[in-house]
Amino acid sequence: MALVIAIDGPAAAGKGTLAKRLAAHYGLPHLDTGLLYRAVGRLARERGVDLDDPEAAGAVARDLVPSHLDDGTLRGHEAGELASRVAAHPPVRQALDAFQRNFAAQPGGAVLDGRDIGTVICPDAPVKLFVTASPEVRARRRTDELLAKGRPVDYETILTEVRERDRRDAGRSVAPLKPAADARLLDTSELGIEDAFRAACAIIDGAPH
């Protein structure tokens, strides 16, 4: 039976790092679904498409292939701004939902991390994890990450942004951020990556699949 591992959770909870480790450990392909909207926004701009045109942006989303996600600059601020403009369009969301479901349907399974994997994209996944941490811990991690890159940032500002992002993600009308009813909660507030990895493996190895 295919092993599909659905990992959801708020920003800076550590789900992306954990997803990569789990994918390598279990020999599965990994999809960081947060890059999809960024890739569509970037591709639309490169093609001269009006980012505020739902149908045109949807056509770009339907053209998306995995190699479009390999651009390291997709994690930057500019790509994030482009993503926010296209993410509101239903045709874009429909196309990217299909992309994610196709990725998850690979014969051996896959690891997907995002905001609505266990609730919307893969509701039948045999393993669902909801990775979280306190807003204060997530803001500290994000601040340290940016400082390490040489960007001057203020912890209190980042904390405000984290809380606002949580409020927006949990309150949106389509696919709000929330744990699936059968998801296992993994709070990484007090855990390093190795401890979180071991805890996740214990959950996965104990799940029926």
What is each CA distance from 82 to 52, 55, 73, 173, 200, in whole angstroms?
10, 16, 12, 21, 33
pLDDT for residue 157: 93
Q: Please give the Cα distance from 25 to 99 (Å, whole number).
A: 24
pLDDT for residue 28: 97
* Residue 9 among known ligand-binding residues: yes
pLDDT for residue 4: 97
The model's confidence at residue 190, banded by pLDDT at 50, 70 and 90, is very high
79 vs 53, which has greater pLDDT? Answer: 53
pLDDT for residue 88: 82
**Burial tier of 121 (Cβ tally within 10 Å: 0-12, 13-18, 19+):** buried
On whether the CB atoms of residues 8 and 15 are closer than 8 A, the answer is yes
> Has residue 18 got a pLDDT over 90?
yes
8 vs 168, which has greater pLDDT? Answer: 8
Domains of the chain in start order, with CATH, are 1-29+109-209 (3.40.50.300), 33-105 (no CATH)
- pLDDT tens profile 75-115: 887 888 898 889 889 999 999 999 999 999 999 999 999 98
The model's confidence at residue 37, banded by pLDDT at 50, 70 and 90, is very high
* Residue 16 among known ligand-binding residues: yes
The whole-number average pLDDT for the span 190-205 is 94
> Has residue 60 got a pLDDT over 70?
yes
> Has residue 202 got a pLDDT over 80?
yes
Q: What is the DSSP string of 47-60?
A: TT--TT-HHHHHHH
Percent of the chain at pLDDT exceeding 90: 72
The whole-number average pLDDT for the span 123-142 is 95
The whole-number average pLDDT for the span 137-146 is 92
Q: What is the DSSP string of 58-109?
A: HHHHHT--GGGGG-GGGGSHHHHHHHHHHTT-HHHHHHHHHHHHHHHTSTTE
* Residue 10 among known ligand-binding residues: yes
Sign of the CA dihedral 14, 85, 68, 96? Answer: positive
Which of 46, 44, 48 has the alpha carbon at shortest distance from 92?
44
> Has residue 209 got a pLDDT over 70?
no
* Residue 11 among known ligand-binding residues: yes
- Tokens 């990992």 belong to residue: 7
* Residue 15 among known ligand-binding residues: yes
pLDDT for residue 79: 87
- Tokens 């996944």 belong to residue: 125
pLDDT for residue 146: 87
